[in-house]
Chain A
């Protein structure tokens, strides 16, 4: 079955420290992969996406993610976290290539808390 797993429900990091949020997926076909951020009571903002090509993708707000097919992972990273990065982060997967329907499967989310 298709699924997305974010192993870490809650992560706390100090401001200025590096961050890595994990995402593993199970998908039979070539996946399209996304990371979204959601502030409390707000909608989703796209951080970055992977469709094809370079497996290291750059996003907004200094985030990057690396697609590792062999590990079925798409981990999100940021070298130096800012207090404003505190939010809920969702990894999502959709069917890639000609199978793309636009439907997305979301992970459970990771809550990021930033300590001063």
Chain B
């Protein structure tokens, strides 16, 4: 299967700070990137979809100004949580996709804890 990395794997920050999460597809070109969020003991919920070089499309209820997504290259996408608050504490998982491939790959996730 494809290799997907996320960095950092864990991050703890103070309320009001911004946190950047990187997602890299190491052995294929990710034309599309999906970002999911998973609250404790809950399922994954899609936050946004981005295509390389285009603006991201956000799901209903997800603030685009708070969760900034950059997908400037085919191997790297970033999610920045701006002015993080404790309610943003969650497990963030990226899912890159190559073209119209039916394969769904997932990163190992980033655990964000906002104090």
Are B111 and A41 within 8 A (Cβ)?
A: yes
Main secondary structure, interface of A, reads loop
Residues of B within 8 A of A (CB): 1, 6, 32, 34, 42-46, 49, 93, 95, 97, 100, 102, 104, 106-109, 111
Question: Residues on A close to B: CB < 8 A?
Answer: 32, 34, 36, 41-44, 46, 49, 51, 90, 94, 100-109
- Asked whether, in the complex, the Cβ of B43 is within 8 Å of the Cβ of A108, the reply is yes
What residues of chain B lie closer than 8 Å to A51, measured between beta carbons?
102
Which one, A36, A90, A103, contacts B34 given CB within 8 A?
A103
A90 touching B108 by the CB < 8 A rule? no
Closest to A109 in B: B43
Are A90 and B102 interface neighbours, CB within 8 A? Answer: no
Q: Which residues of chain B are within 8 angstroms of A107 by Cβ–Cβ distance?
A: 43
CA distance A108 to B44 in the complex (A): 8
Q: Is the CB of A43 within 8 A of B46?
A: no
User: Do A43 and B109 contact each other (CB < 8 Å), given the known contacts A51-B102, A100-B102, A102-B104?
Assistant: yes
| Bound: A101/B31 CA distance, A | 12
